[in-house]
Amino acid sequence: MLAPIPWAGRVWALPVLTALAPSERFCQERGRRHKTLLDWGRQMALQARRWLPERDLILVTDSGFSALLFLDAMRRGGITAITRLRLDAALYEPAPMRLPGTLGRPRRKGARLPTLAEVLAATSTHWQTVRVPGWYGAAERTIEITSATAVWQHGGLLVVPIRWVLIRDPLNRFAPQALLCTDPTRDPAQIVRWFVRRWQVEVTFQEARSHLGIETQRQWSDKAIARTTPCLLALFSIVTLMAGRLPARERRQVAQAAWYRKPQPTFSDALAAVRLAIWREQAFVTSRRRSNSTKVRFALPDAWAYALCHAA
């Protein structure tokens, strides 16, 4: 399945895996074992790894997947996971090499490192200026980052080696935030660019829900639910690809509202442009086969048709 990134005059497509995640109450009523979102996410990511053993898989998630057990499973599965990291996370140096003849259990971590909140406040921290294109759907944004490697461990759980990236805005337009990557060899600037792309996928699902009814449809059959969501996502792809084939003047039309102005077309504009093109072919184009026709058929004005396309 293809999930196009939000409409902005260019068409990019990303492969998307979807899975139904029943609630805990739903599973209890039917006597089934409940699987959390972490379980579903781990299963889907590892399944993608089995399907694509030679590909470099980058998994970008929100803070709900910032769990050590999940991140360790991604690391062992050869999947690079990128997610948010708390500024007060317990970070440590790697465990020192075990000397010959040392008794007892081997150490799992080294000395405690300063928290990212302390790194943020320290005047000795070296910051690197980076330009990130497409910052959360906007234009290019200039930010400052600093990065290092560490191991993350908490409460007797697994130890996961990570690369953390601390981000701040020189103009203080957003609060400082931190990211982690389970592959310590990745470039910090590339980690930030990968994470920003997650916003485009989120907007894709939001647009599909607002304009195509995904997650709001009502069916009585489990099979109907499993079929409808992929079909609606496929419809999103079809609309976006069809809009990309329209003339530039039609696909760049933007509906302006009284309370804000859109600098670029969105999916709603692409959907209206595709509707208008289809309606013209089906109903608004007069037949050219009869050259001697005397009766003039009514043609809907373009302004009316465009307004109806947005209201449909």
β-bridge pairing 2-4 and 128-132: unpaired
- Measured CA to CA in angstroms, residue 292 lies from 283, 284, 285, 286, 288 at distances of 20, 19, 17, 13, 10
Model confidence over 160-200: pLDDT tens digits? 999 999 999 999 888 999 999 999 999 999 999 999 988 87
- Find how far residue 236's CA is from the centre of its chain: 15
186/45 Cα distance (integer angstroms): 19
Q: CA nearest 284: which of 303, 301, 308?
A: 301
Asked if 3 contacts 201 with a C-beta cutoff of 8 angstroms, the reply is yes
Residue 50 has a pLDDT of: 93
| Proportion of the chain in helix, strand, coil states, percent, rounded to 5 | 40, 15, 45
Model confidence over 58-96: pLDDT tens digits? 999 988 899 999 999 999 999 999 999 999 999 999 988
- Half-sphere exposure for 119 (CA within 13 Å, toward CB): 24
pTM, to two decimals: 0.74
Q: Which helix (H) or strand (E) holds 145?
A: strand 141-152
